[in-house]
Structure 1
Amino acid sequence: MNIPVGVSNRHIHLMQEHVEILFGEGYTLTSLKELSQPGEFAANETVKVVGPKGEFPSVRVLGPVRSLTQLEISLTDSFSLGVKAPIRSSGNIEGTPGIKIVGPQGEVTIEQGVIIAERHIHMTSDDATQFNVTDGEYVSIETVGERSLTFHQVLIRVKDTYALDLHIDTDEANASGLKTGDTVRIVK
């Protein structure tokens, strides 16, 4: 069975406190479009992120708000910003670098929260049974096409509210020639 691919460009998740600092007191994020995972959306809002070496003037905010602020970038982006972002699963920000975030109403500097998101597959428990995998397990996936390759160390994330989807960043997509909507398969 094939797994659909979702290519993830740089983006930021914000906690409500930071939304209000950046966009104004009582501000609520507004949805530009729904994402592959139920309840998640690309917001109309963007922010500027400023690192020691460079900046990105328009980083998309993803909603809904989270319990912590986290900037997800690619390895190439980390060079451009001048930060040594580690590869981590979402939410695992302990000991990661910080960054300055600038919005239309204010700015905030986070002490930690910049990561390169670990490639992962979202799936339901039924999907996990069908693929014979478990939450937290690492698998390999195989791509097809002119730049076909095998990715190792792909994290399985199981939750019944998830939709089946492989998340990779733009560097990984470019290396393999993948785009959102393509498919891959698990090889153990």
Structure 2
Amino acid sequence: MTISFDQLIEEVAVRVKANMEQTFEIEASGRHVHLSQEHIDILFGKNHKLLPTKYLSQPGQFAGKERVTLVGPKGVLHQVVVLGPARDKSQVEISFTDAQKLGVRAPLRLSGDTKGTPGIMIMVGNKHVILDEGLIVAKRHIHVKEQEAARLNVKDKEVVKVQVMSERPLIFDDVVVRVSPKFETFMHIDYDEANACGFKSGTKGRIIKKD
């Protein structure tokens, strides 16, 4: 059956629309620290409350005014942002490039999965805490709002590929999907990955199902 040029254009438009409906925004996440209230008290004073300067895409999460220094065996990283609110357990998220500067071997983990990871010293002025564990390179992942899981055809803890639509398009493999009613739908990558794909604000991604 032969189709007309107009029908062909309409079919292409439908496919493009379907693909666009399955896209989501990508965000680049720089090095940062999550602190327990116990460690906040030690570094910033008793009963200190983190001061929000910017609210993030995930509900209730914010970048605080507070900054810390990370001290490793071979180097330091200054002015590292503290994210709030306070957590039950402190955690530090860096890139592989940061790990080289510090002289540490930080494993690739999902946030919260810190068992058996290296520790790090966190300093503010002459005050410091030493984590026994908690230093990771965050594994790339997609936060998916529960109501949007069907639109993206994904389920919690599924591992997918993501096609990045940027000036340097590429496909990221081994991307973990995290589904929750508490999330908004955004993919998170670190600055090493952002540089690799030519990331800029507003960059979109699309899931490619693994075989």
> Which TM-score band applies after superposition, normalised by the shorter structure?
over 0.9
Give the letter aligned to residue 114 of structure 1.
Answer: L
Given that residues 110 and 139 in structure 2 are in contact (C-alpha distance below 8 angstroms), is that contact kept between their aligned partners in structure 1? Answer: yes
- Distance apart, 1:105 and its partner CA: 6.3
Matches within 5 A, 1:34-183: 34-104=55-125, 106-183=127-204
| SS at structure 1 position matched to 2:59 | coil
Q: What is residue 50 of structure 2 aligned with on the other side?
A: 29
> Could you give the per-residue CA deviations for residues 68-91 of structure 1, whole angstroms, max 9, x where no partner exists?
111000010000001100000000
- Supply the distance in 2 between the matched residues of 1:81 and 1:63 (Cα, whole angstroms): 24
- Supply the distance in 1 between the matched residues of 2:130 and 2:202 (Cα, whole angstroms): 35
- Distance apart, 1:127 and its partner CA: 1.1
Q: Give the TM-score normalised by the residue count of structure 2.
A: 0.87
Given that residues 23 and 105 in structure 1 are in contact (C-alpha distance below 8 angstroms), is that contact kept between their aligned partners in structure 2? Answer: no
Give the letter aligned to residue 148 of structure 2.
Answer: D
Given that residues 67 and 80 in structure 2 are in contact (C-alpha distance below 8 angstroms), is that contact kept between their aligned partners in structure 1? Answer: yes
Larger radius of gyration: 2
The number of equivalent residue pairs is 188
Q: By percentage of residues, which structure has more helix?
A: 2
Given that residues 5 and 179 in structure 1 are in contact (C-alpha distance below 8 angstroms), is that contact kept between their aligned partners in structure 2? Answer: no
Give the letter aligned to residue 159 of structure 1.
Answer: S
- Distance apart, 1:135 and its partner CA: 0.5
| SS at structure 2 position matched to 1:143 | strand
- The gaps in structure 1 that reach 5 residues or longer are none
Given that residues 114 and 136 in structure 2 are in contact (C-alpha distance below 8 angstroms), is that contact kept between their aligned partners in structure 1? Answer: yes
- The gaps in structure 2 that reach 5 residues or longer are 1-21
- Supply the distance in 2 between the matched residues of 1:38 and 1:176 (Cα, whole angstroms): 27
- Supply the distance in 1 between the matched residues of 2:88 and 2:68 (Cα, whole angstroms): 18
- Supply the distance in 1 between the matched residues of 2:36 and 2:110 (Cα, whole angstroms): 18
Deviation >4 Å, runs of 4+: none
RMSD: 1.0
Give the letter aligned to residue 119 of structure 1.
Answer: R
Q: What percentage of residue pairs aligned between the two structures are identical?
A: 47
- Distance apart, 1:147 and its partner CA: 1.4
- Supply the distance in 2 between the matched residues of 1:104 and 1:89 (Cα, whole angstroms): 30
Q: Give the TM-score normalised by the residue count of structure 1.
A: 0.97
- Supply the distance in 1 between the matched residues of 2:64 and 2:124 (Cα, whole angstroms): 14
Given that residues 165 and 203 in structure 2 are in contact (C-alpha distance below 8 angstroms), is that contact kept between their aligned partners in structure 1? Answer: no
